[in-house]
Structure 1
Amino acid sequence: MKLVAIDMDGTLLHTEKEISDYTIAVIQHLQREGHSFVIATGRTLQDAKDIVTKANIPADGYICANGGIIADRDGYILSEKHLDLHAATRMASWLHTRQFYFHLATSDGLYTTDDAYQFFLDDLNEYARMKNDGGKMAAVIRDQADRQLNNLGLKLLPATADIPSYNFTAYKFLVLSLFPEKLNAIRTAWETDDQISITSSGTDNIELMPFDAAKGSGLTFMAKQLGIAMENTIAIGDNYNDLSMFETAGLSIAMGNAAPEVKTYAHMETAENDEDGVAKAIENYVMTARQ
């Protein structure tokens, strides 16, 4: 028996945020053979669970919020790492003052400020002014962002100072910007804080999390929970927030669309997400011949 831990965005999901019929069939076959399918994502637990359940491939476990939440197949939380609400307030105020778009993942959903979307639009417009044919590019980016943000069910924080008054658990911040130098400024400002872990799930974002939250530790926890030795675990991913999982798994597989540096941490490489790289990796490295 093997445990296959799979990232979602850029990995399991195609660019259009869907799971192909081919990949669904392969994962269903994987589970029929007695192997465990585990989601390992930066997304919230409810979001991840809804996506795979709708696709008729409910997972055997969930590592969500980059390891901040670990849950069983029914969504029962087994372990969680969280941000102190006062620390979260400091971070939110810092980001808001510098006009970053961010949302805060919590046990009560995703929260953002009422002017965060305008910050995103200002960033996008500045990016378009700096690029040739930037108007068309900005329109495409805005359309994609609007569709994604509309599906998130964001809730509004009247003020960042209100965070400690909320009855929720804070898991992580996702910060978006099209300018790498702006994102690097976040790293510079917060990398010395020993209560914070910094990672990224794409070139346009930074994720700020509890220092002890990581997909790698989540994979170790889940393997023990399912009674599977670490040498029999496989991790498939495409970005920097997958690296701790790559270092922990018995076999690590990078997507073809992964950044070159990310690929250097993996044992193997598969096809891109839009070419069903997950399904091909499972067929090549896990399953017996398909029936």
Structure 2
Amino acid sequence: MRYKILCSDLDGTLLATKSDVSAFAISEIRRIKGRMRIILVSARMPKAMRYIQQDLGITKEPLICYNGAYILHQTRELASVEIGLEHLLKIDELAYTLKIDMGLYHKDEWYVPKNSERVQKEIRYTKSAPVFKNIQATLSDWSRRDIGAHKVMLMGTKDSSDTIFTQLEASLGDHLHLYRSNDTLIEIVPRSVSKRSAIEFLLRSDESLSEVIAFGDNYNDIEMLQAVGCGVAVENAREEVKQVAQRLTARNTEDGVAHFIKTHL
């Protein structure tokens, strides 16, 4: 089948390292970009995706940020769904009790209460820098500005992350999507959005999900891979992701996405 759109997750999927696409991936994306739309789909903030867009030569295409909570086309905002202050205060209350650090994201703004090894990794991997600011002060400022979070990142231990995940699912599961990035990291976005819903939002009148090929590796990619015409998991993907994918390719560190494109597209 001739696919009209290629959608790819970044971390653990398209990126061969923690922060960059390889020369091979760049050459393969540039080879096919004239005959299909290439849309990056990530939990990252916009400025942590734009440099990758530039490397791939696809800056004229939309960006799906924060797992679908924020969609941009160049500088134009196409869609925005936020976690409201009421729910942010509840998350903060639980996180404070369990001594879990919070990261708050709104558009290209990123706030954390303090520096840490985890924050430094995020800075290196995403080539973005946060504002170091107390969470309560950030939420107070956001209240005055009447804005919410496109994403919340919770950074704890395995035990504290297990506990707060269960608590948040029970109390706010109807309003929030919670994803485990790993044992100690939880990403939270509004319940009404997902990578699949964002792709559907961007479909043109002559396009359908069956004409989309998508690549992923983590829990937040499952719905997307299930819905599209061809869902491809990289070898390093979680087992749950591999089970729903139609095809498998090599690990991200072995340029699995680029090899699949070269062989099949």
Please classify the TM superposition score into its range, dividing by the shorter chain length.
0.7 to 0.9
Instruction: Please report how far the alpha carbon of residue 267 of structure 1 lies from its aligned counterpart in structure 2 after TM superposition.
Output: 0.6
Q: Tell me the residue number matched to 2:233.
A: 254
1:1-291 to structure 2, matched below 5 A, reads: 1-32=3-34, 34-58=35-59, 60-72=61-73, 74-114=74-114, 117=115, 142=117, 146-149=120-123, 151-160=127-136, 162-166=138-142, 167=145, 168-179=147-158, 181-192=159-170, 193=172, 194-224=174-204, 227-285=206-264, 287=265
1:11 and 1:162 map into 2 onto residues whose CA distance is 32
2:20 and 2:207 map into 1 onto residues whose CA distance is 29
Instruction: State the one-letter code of the partner of 1:163.
Output: L
1:2 and 1:55 map into 2 onto residues whose CA distance is 17
1:21 and 1:58 map into 2 onto residues whose CA distance is 17
Q: Quick check: 1:66–1:241 contact (8 Å CA) kept in 2?
A: yes
Instruction: Please report how far the alpha carbon of residue 25 of structure 1 lies from its aligned counterpart in structure 2 after TM superposition.
Output: 0.4
1:58–1:202: structure 2 CA closer, same or farther, 3 Å change rule?
farther
> What's the TM-score once normalised by structure 1's chain length?
0.81
2:133 and 2:90 map into 1 onto residues whose CA distance is 14
1:224 and 1:38 map into 2 onto residues whose CA distance is 13
Aligned sequence identity (%) = 25
**Cα root mean square deviation, aligned:** 2.1
**CA offsets 1:19-48 (integer angstroms, 9 cap, x no match):** 10000000001112x101000100012221
Q: Quick check: 1:67–1:213 contact (8 Å CA) kept in 2?
A: yes
Q: Quick check: 1:202–1:239 contact (8 Å CA) kept in 2?
A: no
**CA offsets 1:125-148 (integer angstroms, 9 cap, x no match):** xxxxxxxxxxxxxxxxx4x86343
**CA offsets 1:66-85 (integer angstroms, 9 cap, x no match):** 1101222x242211111112
Count of residues in correspondence between the two structures? 256
> What's the TM-score once normalised by structure 2's chain length?
0.88
Structure 1, 48-57 or 167-176: larger mean CA deviation:
48-57
**CA offsets 1:121-178 (integer angstroms, 9 cap, x no match):** xxxxxxxxxxxxxxxxxxxxx4x86343364311133342650432244111112345
Matched residue of 1:170: which SS?
A: coil
Structure 1, 6-15 or 148-157: larger mean CA deviation:
148-157
